[in-house]
Amino acid sequence: MKYLGVLLIASALLQGQALDPALLNKPLGESWPTYSGDYSGKRYSALTQINQLNVRNLTLAWVSRVTAGPGNAGGRGGGAPTIVGGEGTAGDTGGFGGTPNIRASILEVNGILYLSSPDNAWAVDARDGHEYWHYFWKTRGGTHIGNRGLGMWGNWLYMETPDDYLICLDATTGKERWHKEIANFNQQYFSTMSPVVIGNHVLIGTGNDLDEPGYVQSRDPETGEIQWTFHTVPMAKGDLGLDTWGSLDGARHGAGNVWIPGVYDPETHLYIVGTGNPSPAYTNPPSRAGDNLYTCSIVGINVDTGKMAWYYQFSPHETHDWDSTETPILVDGLFKGKPRKMVLHADRSGYFYVLDRLTGEHLLTSKFSDGANWAKGINEKGQPIRDVEKDSTVPGSLVSPNNGGATNWPPPAYSPDTGLMYVPTNDAFAMYYLTETDPRGAMGLGGKEEDGLGSLGSYLTAIDYKTGKVAWRHRYPGTGGNIGNGMLTTAGKLLFAGDAGGNLVAYNPLNGTILWHTHLGQISNAPETYMLDGHQQILVAAGDTLYAFTLY
């Protein structure tokens, strides 16, 4: 009953904290109501209170640590009640527990932060990091690689779980409203994606490492019922793209999973999202002969109907598990002197692309990774031409990037002040050995052995979309080779990023000059910003700990 009392108090505190849907259509500034802050994927905040002149005075506002699992231990944030849900038993033993590593985008709405790690969600006071509630999901299992964040609609929050449920929580209390199975656990799906709410659609996707087909799905925010499903691979005779596979069974086991949220163009009602690699990832059975549409592509899906308006495939018949799920960015600007509505994308394979987002028309391809050596050139459609000799081979192929990629899920950013896109990049090499010589190939990620050979360098890379060229890049010192963390840009002419050494750094977005830093240890998500009581805040996570910075 003590538990209930606490809940009631929390409930009273949190009255009237619902998300105003109008916020979602505004450019980023006062709050952070969705995965990328706004729908454009730019991670560019209009806030200017913290700027180049005063960033050196940025100071710690608070620190708060969260604790995962079924207990009520609480962190430094202070032992809020844990609400336990779930269909599994693993949580009883803490089997998938451990210290959370917050890789997620964190929502900030009306002074409250909503954050997540696999199986866990928290509401935290944005003014001092005090925990309001903690929700824990007892899992059936699934790959616990990360959770990318929560979606919000009115007073409801949405979270995916590694064992393939979409959970709806009451943002005020953390109490579960319902949960729905969104993928078949038996087929070894696992779900990490941050749900994105657009109008009355909750958009979701899942992951899979066993050849099973990828999809984007829209769910009703009130009931969780399916509104539409868009498969990224052909699923039936007559489906478009089937002629790019060796067989229907190959297509239906061709993956293309969608695990990073897309962006949204309110003008065209298109949800624009990157798709995963084809499967089996490293082997080439006859069933996968062809370009393997719509894997390693960007697709524009009408959010009302679930129908695809256009697609562009970056890597036909991809063979290194370099998916194309990295967040696209919507930019309006000049291209070759003409105003264009575009989408920019920096691909895990080391190439950068500009497309027209109204039509999917290809405008530009360039290579941003010095290492990338897997293509023989660019074809007339702007696609790198795969060098089959750089597939995994029995005697070994020396390939860059390594499996981790020239970039990966850590969110990129774009500043309209500079016209530059900011991407964490890495020029790593690996030997790729084919170990499965059965002509039927392996399943999933099997059949190859990869041996890392180190990196020529990891960088914060700024790309000029008009030319595709690297405008500047900052090499992280040392001889290692880790991809850095996600990015944030602001109208205060600042670029924030976690570097490879565990520092939160503010750079000049024009040239990469360092303006401020603080060492936090391993930074694990992309920095965010919002206003609170007239003071701009900068928020970042490092493992299980949140750090908020401000000017006093």
Partner 1 sequence: MRNKAALAILAVTIAATAQTPPAAAGRGVGRAQAQPARPSAFPDHPPGDPASIERGRAIWGVNCNFCHGSDARGGEGGPNLLRSELVLNDQKGELIAPVVQNGKGEMPPIKLTRDQITDVAAYVHSFHVGGYDISRMKPPSILVGDAKAGEAYFNATCTPCHSITGDLKGIGAKFTDPKQLQNGFLMPGGGRGGNGGSRGPFHVPPTTVTVTLASGKKVEGTLGRIDDFIVTLTEPDGAQRTFRRDGNTPKVEVHDPMEAHKKLLTKYTDQDIHNLTSYLVTVK
Residues 338-397 that bind partner 1 (CB under 8 A): 370-371, 373, 389, 393-397
Q: Could you give the angle at the alpha carbon of 331 between the alpha carbons of 326 and 332, nearest 5°?
A: 165
Of the two residues 18 and 145, which places its CB atom closer to partner 1 in the complex?
A: 145
3-state DSSP of 280-318: CCCCCCHHHCCCCCCCCEEEEEECCCCCEEEEEECCCCC
Residue 445 in the binding site for partner 1 (CB under 8 A): yes
* Contacting partner 1 within 490-549 (CB under 8 A): 499-503, 505, 514, 517, 519, 522
Residue 86 in the binding site for partner 1 (CB under 8 A): no
Q: What is the C-alpha to C-alpha distance for residues 71 and 64, in angstroms, rounded to an integer?
A: 17
Residue 210 in the binding site for partner 1 (CB under 8 A): yes
Q: What is the C-alpha to C-alpha distance for residues 160 and 193, in angstroms, rounded to an integer?
A: 7
Residue 266 in the binding site for partner 1 (CB under 8 A): no
Question: What's the min distance (Å) between Cβ of 363 and partner 1?
Answer: 28
* Contacting partner 1 within 272-291 (CB under 8 A): 280-281, 287
| Residue found by looking up tokens 């509505």 in the block | 341
* Tokens standing for residue 171: 């943002």
> Which of 416, 444, 448, 498 is closest to 38 using CA atoms?
416
Residue 146 in the binding site for partner 1 (CB under 8 A): yes
Chain centre to alpha carbon of residue 2: 39
Dihedral (CA of 521, 524, 529, 533) sign: negative
Residue 222 in the binding site for partner 1 (CB under 8 A): no
Q: How many residues bind partner 1 (CB under 8 A)?
A: 93
Of the two residues 118 and 174, which places its CB atom closer to partner 1 in the complex?
A: 118
Residue 410 in the binding site for partner 1 (CB under 8 A): yes
Chain centre to alpha carbon of residue 200: 22
Question: What's the min distance (Å) between Cβ of 50 and partner 1?
Answer: 20
Question: What's the min distance (Å) between Cβ of 235 and partner 1?
Answer: 11
Residue 478 in the binding site for partner 1 (CB under 8 A): yes
Cα separations in angstroms, 271 against 358, 381, 516: 11, 23, 36
Among 235, 289, 456, 532, binds partner 1 (CB under 8 A): 456
| Interface region with partner 1, contact rule CB under 8 A, candidates 90-98, 150-158, 358-366, 414-422 | 90-98
Residue 451 in the binding site for partner 1 (CB under 8 A): yes
Contact (CB, 8 A) for 506 and 515: yes
Residue 431 in the binding site for partner 1 (CB under 8 A): yes
Strands of the sheet with 545-550, listed across from one edge: 59-65, 545-550, 535-542, 528-532
Residue 249 in the binding site for partner 1 (CB under 8 A): yes
Question: What's the min distance (Å) between Cβ of 449 and partner 1?
Answer: 8
| Residue found by looking up tokens 């180049």 in the block | 52
Of the two residues 387 and 417, which places its CB atom closer to partner 1 in the complex?
A: 387
* Contacting partner 1 within 154-193 (CB under 8 A): 162, 184-188, 190, 192
